[in-house]
Amino acid sequence: MNGEQFMKNIIFDIGNVLLDFQPEKYLQKYFNKSVMGDLMMIIFSSDEWIELDMGTMMIQDAIESLTLKHPHYHDEIIFVMKNWTHMMTPLQKNVEIVKELKEKGYHLYLLSNFHKEAIQTMFQRYEFFQLFEGGIISANEQLVKPDQKIYQLLLQRYHLQAEESLFIDDMLANVKMAQELHIHGLYLPYQTDLREELKKRHIL
- Asked whether the predicted pLDDT for residue 1 surpasses 90, the reply is no
- What is the distance between the terminal CA atoms of the chain, rounded to a whole angstrom? 17
**Is 175 in the same domain as 196?**
yes
Q: Are residues 123 and 192 in the same domain?
A: yes
pLDDT at 2: 44
CATH number of the domain residue 187 falls in: 3.40.50.1000
Question: Last residue of a domain, which of 87, 122, 139?
Answer: 87
Which of 87, 116, 142 delimits the end of a domain? Answer: 87
Q: How many domains is the chain partitioned into structurally?
A: 2
Cis peptide before 23 (omega within 30 of 0): no
Query: Is 122 found in the same domain as 71?
Result: no
pLDDT over 50 (residue 134): yes
Q: Are residues 153 and 72 in the same domain?
A: no
Q: Residue 174: name the closest of 149, 146, 135, 154 by CA.
A: 146
Beta bridge partners of 58: none
Among 87, 113, 137, the domain-final residue is 87
Using one digit for the tens of pLDDT, what is the confidence trace for 5-58?
Answer: 589 999 999 999 999 999 999 999 999 999 999 999 999 999 999 999 999 999
Q: Which residues contact 139 (CB under 8 A, 6 or more apart)?
A: 52, 53, 54, 55, 114, 115, 116, 119
For residue 48, give its domain range: 23-87
User: Quick check: 13 and 168 in contact, CB under 8 A?
Assistant: yes
* Same domain flag for 113 and 195: yes
**pLDDT of the residue at 113:** 98
Q: Do 39 and 107 share a domain, yes or no?
A: no
pLDDT cut 90: percent of the chain above it: 97
Q: Is residue 54 domain-shared with residue 72, that is, in the same domain?
A: yes
Q: For residues 86-114, give the mean pLDDT.
A: 97
pTM over 0.85: yes
69 and 80 both lie in a single domain: yes
Q: 95 and 83 share a domain? A: no
Residues 16 and 65 in one domain: no
